[in-house]
């Protein structure tokens, strides 16, 4: 796990290709070490995840960026884009702009 901390932000990059229950517990512990910073999780190296990771996103309170398409489609289907801050790139997370939301418009 790679951690980059600055004065305002902390970026955690899991280096494991699969985020399972063990990796989620490690993420929780690392996020607790930075209570006053805005924490972002970089999923650049992640290829797969378990339901524990997806469910824990609600309680971690961290932004997520560089999301693989498979995981992104799961997050959209579960409507987690409403409760978890999803971003395309690290720059979007750092500036807190261009958050990804699935609006689900319908024709009336």
Could you read off the pLDDT of 35-94 as tens digits, one per residue?
899 999 999 999 999 999 999 998 988 999 999 999 999 998 898 888 999 999 999 999
Nearest to 38 by CA among 90, 107, 103, 106: 90
| pLDDT value at residue 101 | 82
**pTM of the predicted structure, to 2 decimals:** 0.89
Sheet holding 9-13, edge to edge: 2-5, 9-13, 38-42, 63-65
- What number is the average pLDDT over the span 16-34? 93
**18: Cα separation from own chain's centroid:** 14
Q: Which residues contact 13 (CB under 8 A, 6 or more apart)?
A: 1, 2, 3, 4, 41, 42, 44, 45
Confidence bin at 30 (pLDDT 50/70/90): very high
């Amino acid at each position: 796990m790679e951690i980059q901390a600055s004065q305002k932000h902390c970026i955690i990059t899991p280096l494991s290709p699969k985020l399972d229950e063990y990796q989620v517990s490690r993420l929780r512990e690392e996020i607790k070490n930075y209570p006053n910073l805005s924490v972002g999780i970089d999923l650049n190296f992640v290829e797969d995840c378990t339901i524990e990771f997806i469910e824990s996103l609600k309680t971690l309170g961290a932004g997520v960026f560089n999301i693989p398409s498979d995981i992104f489609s799961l997050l959209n289907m579960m409507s987690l884009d409403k409760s978890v801050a999803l971003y395309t790139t690290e720059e979007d997370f750092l500036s807190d702009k261009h958050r990804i939301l699935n609006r689900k418009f319908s024709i009336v």
